[in-house]
Amino acid sequence: MKSLADQSVTLLKGVGARSAEKLAKLGITTLQDVLFHLPLRYQDRTRVHPIGALRRGDQVVIEGEVDLAEVKFGRRRSLMVHLSDGTGSLFLRFFYFSNAQRQNLSRGVRLRCFGEVRSGPSSLEMVHPEYQRLSDDEPLMVEDTLTPVYPTTEGVHQLTLRGLIGQTLELLDRSPAALQELLPENLLQRFQLSSLLQAVCFLHRPPPDVDQQLLLAGEHPAQQRLAFEELLAHQISLLTVRAEHLRIKSTAFAEQNRLKQALLEALPFSLTEAQLRVVSEIEDDLAQSKPMQRLVQGDVGSGKTVVSALAALQAIGAGSQVALMAPTELLAEQHLNNFSQWLTPLGVEIAWLTGRLKGRAREQVLQRIESAEVQMVVGTQALFQDDVSFNDLGLVVIDEQHRFGVHQRLALREKGQQQNRTPHQLIMTATPIPRTLAMTAYADLDLSVIDGLPPGRKPVTTAVLSSSRRDEVVARVRAACAEGRQAYWVCTLIEESEVLQCQAAEETERLLAEALPELNIGLVHGRIKQDEKEQVMGQFKSGALDLLVATTVIEVGVDVPNASLMIIENPERLGLAQLHQLRGRVGRGSAESHCLLMYQSPLSQQAKQRLAILRETGDGFVIAQKDLEMRGPGEVLGTRQTGEMQLRIADLIRDQEMLDDVRDGAAMVIKQDPTAATALVKRWLGDRVDYGRV
Ligand code: ADP
Ligand code: MG
């Protein structure tokens, strides 16, 4: 029995090369794809409704007799057909009609129509209904199931799709085994799931008494059955990647050493309870000879850096090397500063490697890395170029991971591998990842959460106001700086164009310099030369500058405790999580801090509500969850373009309650039936399955 997944859609009647191409745009290439192309909604053509009981918005079948048909010349010429059935009457309205059509719709003719009921000027109407003439000798049958309405695309008609799906269902009727059930019987029972065959057939041909609300919401058990299987396949894929990776060995590092002790003693603060907990989770991992894959989540300012420094020292103390990678040069530099400050006094050699380092200087650094003269390398992605080879890389730390995406994370894993050893991986992110995503897109990682801030932090007071109050805002900046505080002014633009964004920042700086002549103002954006950027940041950090005008380049990591005011222009153009990151640049010192979100009027009510979330909460998890609900997982993960976690049927928000079951189910399938596990991944992820080996 050939599986539907191995049969091309061109096997169906009426599908040639041309239409196959168009169907491919709907993601349909095999007969299995045809079956998984589910209806958006349904029409009820299973019974004839009395006209007297119709309500506006109903989509129904009616039958009646024509009392009158006439052409009206109003604003638009139209053919109006008055139809009644003894319970009531309505008009059929046609803007386009032929003479023949008009003559056919004469008084006394009986019609069956399907259409949407609208209210017209004098009574209810159906505009351009589908209709058929009824004759006494051959009674028309009604449908006995609901009629599916499928998502279509240009050149693929609704009726074509219905036809193709009809053909496929017939095929399935003759040989049901062509749609292989991949879920083991005991799993179906445990989670009370129907068979795949039942679920699919039901969704294409639901009985008239089905709860349509449930179907529309995607919450019918038949839909949930499919969503469950899809999420299960994703989960299995990530767990498989993880299991494969765990077969490779890493170096085990003793939990305690002299260097770690020395750093803890030298720190001007003691670690918070949350930090201590995460540090000990990492210690345990690093003491194993299987690779650590740990994601440390901690809100902005929660103190992730020092946690990673302790992890680094566990490896370095045992004679191994550590690489720390940040997404931007600015951040990498900041890490370099922190690590130098903490580790250099302990005798640790630190090198610096970014794309900017060229020629001889670069060669020297590479040589020192290879010969193990340096124990720690801080940099950007440049760390993982082909010509960089470590003597003995024991740990890779990746900061602000969400910017890299799953593919890059997995690619890095590969790069770090030497012979049959792989470095431990510690990933740090300030974007709180909602549980739903943690359990799906990150299922191959263990999770640690730093769920508290160091003592003494004050929440940032946030206000949302219109740009018409710009003068007041400028006055706030003046007042804050007069008190010896510092401020950020962040310019954003919706265009992806960096050039425009930088121009906007330059213009803003000019205007602010005019309005605030007494202040020292600096400017950083993506097109300012690195040396100059460093210089400006340095001046801001030392307090020589009062106000820093910047683009979103300062989004992550920058740490200037004396800055207590942040203005964000056009916040409506950014995601909530991103705004929360930006806002995290203030509130790092002892002063009351403020963030002013200055939107461009007019702003929709919905957009205002969205911004209000930031005013109401400083909890990054709540904010990320809202962001996820409003904008989808791609935005939150920063992988919108790569199409990761693109689901066909499941919806992470709608279906989040089944995730616990999905996780248990995935483990069950992998254990009981590895062949089915592989087949599931192939069915739902197809070629994308290979991302474990990019
Ligand atoms: P993030 O988690 O955003 O990367 P950082 O690691 O940059 O946060 O830490 C923010 C600031 O808090 C730094 O100045 C850091 O030295 C300081 N810090 C970290 N841990 C503590 C602590 N336990 N007590 C006081 N300050 C701390
Ligand atoms: Mg950080």
Q: Which residues share a beta bridge with 464?
A: 597
**Lowest-confidence region among 216-230, 401-415, 491-505:** 401-415
pLDDT tens-place string over residues 511-533: 999 999 999 999 988 788 877 88
pLDDT of 690 > 50? The answer is no
Q: How far is the CA of 304 from the centre of ligand 1 (A)?
A: 7
Which one is predicted more confidently, 354 or 260?
Answer: 260
Q: How far is the CA of 338 from the centre of ligand 2 (A)?
A: 10
- Residue nearest atom 5 of ligand 1, based on CA coordinates: 303
Looking at residue 497, what is its pLDDT? 65
pLDDT of 435 > 80? The answer is no
As a whole number of angstroms, the distance between CA 368 and CA 375 comes to 9
Tokens of 262: 């020395």
The DSSP 8-state label assigned to residue 9 in this structure reads: G
- Residue nearest atom 17 of ligand 1, based on CA coordinates: 303
Q: Residue 692 — pLDDT band, cuts 50, 70, 90?
A: very low
Looking at residue 458, what is its pLDDT? 78
Which ligand number lies closest to the CA of residue 269? 1
Amino acid letter, residue 579: L
As a whole number of angstroms, the distance between CA 118 and CA 127 comes to 8
The DSSP 8-state label assigned to residue 483 in this structure reads: T
Q: How far is the CA of 340 from the centre of ligand 2 (A)?
A: 15
Q: Residue 307 — pLDDT band, cuts 50, 70, 90?
A: very high
pLDDT of 633 > 70? The answer is no
Q: Which atom of ligand 1 is nearest to the CA of 556?
A: 3
Highest mean pLDDT among 45-49, 410-414, 628-632: 45-49
- Averaged pLDDT score across all residues of the chain: 87
pLDDT of 180 > 50? The answer is yes
- Ligand 1 pocket list (CB less than 6 A): 269, 271-272, 275, 298, 300-306, 430, 454, 559
Q: Which atom of ligand 1 is nearest to the CA of 334?
A: 7
Amino acid letter, residue 417: Q
**Lowest-confidence region among 214-228, 286-300, 465-479, 576-590:** 576-590
Which ligand number lies closest to the CA of residue 331? 2
Strand arrangement, sheet containing 547-550: 460-466, 593-599, 563-569, 486-490, 547-550, 521-524
Residue 92 and residue 131 in contact, taking contact as beta carbons nearer than 8 Å: yes
Which ligand number lies closest to the CA of residue 454? 1
Q: Rounded to 5 degrees, what angle do the CA atoms 427, 428, 429 make?
A: 125
The DSSP 8-state label assigned to residue 570 in this structure reads: S
- Residue nearest atom 12 of ligand 1, based on CA coordinates: 303
* Residue whose CB lies within 8 A of the most ligand 1 atoms, among 267, 269, 276, 428, for a mutation test: 269
- What mean pLDDT comes out for the span 44-59? 93
Looking at residue 642, what is its pLDDT? 39
* Residue whose CB lies within 8 A of the most ligand 1 atoms, among 263, 296, 306, for a mutation test: 306
Q: Residue 596 — pLDDT band, cuts 50, 70, 90?
A: very high
Q: How many Cα atoms occupy the beta-carbon half-sphere of 290 within 13 Å? A: 9
User: String of b and e for 213-222 (b: at least 16 CB within 10 Å)?
Assistant: eebeebebeb
Looking at residue 632, what is its pLDDT? 62
Q: How far is the CA of 275 from the centre of ligand 1 (A)?
A: 10
Q: How far is the CA of 276 from the centre of ligand 2 (A)?
A: 17
pLDDT of 628 > 80? The answer is no
Tokens of 498: 């960096």
As a whole number of angstroms, the distance between CA 468 and CA 461 comes to 20
Strand stretches in 162-228, DSSP E: none
Looking at residue 551, what is its pLDDT? 83
Looking at residue 639, what is its pLDDT? 43
Nearest CA to 411 out of 383, 377, 379 is that of 383
Tokens of 470: 């710009």
pLDDT of 275 > 90? The answer is yes
- What mean pLDDT comes out for the span 107-134? 92
- Residue nearest atom 25 of ligand 1, based on CA coordinates: 454
53 φ/ψ angles, rounded to the nearest 5 degrees: -100, 5
- What mean pLDDT comes out for the span 321-330? 86
- Residue nearest atom 13 of ligand 1, based on CA coordinates: 303
Torsion sign over Cα 272, 273, 278, 282? positive
Q: How far is the CA of 272 from the centre of ligand 1 (A)?
A: 10
Residue 284: which residues within 8 A CB-CB, separation 6 or more? 255
Q: How far is the CA of 620 from the centre of ligand 2 (A)?
A: 14
- Residue nearest atom 9 of ligand 1, based on CA coordinates: 303
pLDDT of 446 > 70? The answer is yes
Looking at residue 477, what is its pLDDT? 95
Q: Residue 643 — pLDDT band, cuts 50, 70, 90?
A: very low
Q: Which atom of ligand 1 is nearest to the CA of 450?
A: 2
Among all chains, which residue has been given the structure tokens 């991971």? 401
Please name the residue ranges forming H helices in 77-176: 99-104, 158-174
Do the bridges between strand 147-149 and strand 41-43 make them parallel or antiparallel, or are there none, so unpaired? antiparallel
User: Measured between alpha carbons, how far is residue 563 from residues 470, 481, 577 in Å?
Assistant: 20, 9, 21
Q: Which helix (H) or strand (E) holds 470?
A: helix 470-482
Q: How far is the CA of 423 from the centre of ligand 1 (A)?
A: 26
Note if the pTM is more than 0.85: no
Q: How far is the CA of 454 from the centre of ligand 1 (A)?
A: 7
pLDDT of 630 > 80? The answer is no
- What mean pLDDT comes out for the span 681-686? 88
As a whole number of angstroms, the distance between CA 318 and CA 287 comes to 11
> DSSP letters of 580-606?
HHHHTTSS-SSS-EEEEEEEPSS--HH
Going along the chain from its start, the domains and CATH numbers come out as 4-42+149-210 (no CATH), 47-142 (2.40.50.140), 258-450 (3.40.50.300), 460-617 (3.40.50.300)
Q: Which atom of ligand 1 is nearest to the CA of 304?
A: 2
Percent of the chain clearing pLDDT 90 (strictly above): 57
- Residue nearest atom 24 of ligand 1, based on CA coordinates: 454
602 preceded by a cis bond (ω within 30 of 0)? yes
Residue 9 and residue 168 in contact, taking contact as beta carbons nearer than 8 Å: no
pLDDT of 637 > 90? The answer is no
Q: Residue 496 — pLDDT band, cuts 50, 70, 90?
A: low
Q: Residue 42 — pLDDT band, cuts 50, 70, 90?
A: very high
As a whole number of angstroms, the distance between CA 322 and CA 319 comes to 10
pLDDT tens-place string over residues 77-100: 999 999 999 999 999 999 999 988
Q: How far is the CA of 335 from the centre of ligand 2 (A)?
A: 8
Tokens of 379: 């940099």
Maximum pairwise Cα distance, the chain: 101
Please name the residue ranges forming H helices in 196-272: 196-204, 212-216, 221-246, 258-266
pLDDT of 322 > 90? The answer is yes
Looking at residue 444, what is its pLDDT? 76
Which ligand number lies closest to the CA of residue 401? 2
Please name the residue ranges forming H helices in 78-122: 99-104
389 φ/ψ angles, rounded to the nearest 5 degrees: -130, 135
Residue 359 and residue 365 in contact, taking contact as beta carbons nearer than 8 Å: no
Which ligand number lies closest to the CA of residue 338? 1
pLDDT tens-place string over residues 238-250: 888 888 878 889 9
- What mean pLDDT comes out for the span 345-358? 92
pLDDT of 645 > 70? The answer is no
Q: How far is the CA of 101 from the centre of ligand 2 (A)?
A: 72
Q: Which atom of ligand 1 is nearest to the CA of 561?
A: 14
Q: Residue 622 — pLDDT band, cuts 50, 70, 90?
A: confident
Q: Residue 693 — pLDDT band, cuts 50, 70, 90?
A: very low
- Residue nearest atom 10 of ligand 1, based on CA coordinates: 301
As a whole number of angstroms, the distance between CA 478 and CA 569 comes to 17
Which ligand number lies closest to the CA of residue 330? 2
Q: Residue 607 — pLDDT band, cuts 50, 70, 90?
A: confident
Looking at residue 688, what is its pLDDT? 55
Looking at residue 689, what is its pLDDT? 44
Q: Which atom of ligand 1 is nearest to the CA of 270?
A: 23
Looking at residue 575, what is its pLDDT? 80
Q: How far is the CA of 324 from the centre of ligand 2 (A)?
A: 12
48 φ/ψ angles, rounded to the nearest 5 degrees: -90, 130
Q: How far is the CA of 305 from the centre of ligand 2 (A)?
A: 6
Nearest CA to 26 out of 199, 164, 191 is that of 164
Looking at residue 478, what is its pLDDT? 95
Q: Residue 114 — pLDDT band, cuts 50, 70, 90?
A: very high
* Residue whose CB lies within 8 A of the most ligand 1 atoms, among 305, 331, 556, 588, for a mutation test: 305
pLDDT of 636 > 70? The answer is no
Termini Cα distance of the chain: 34
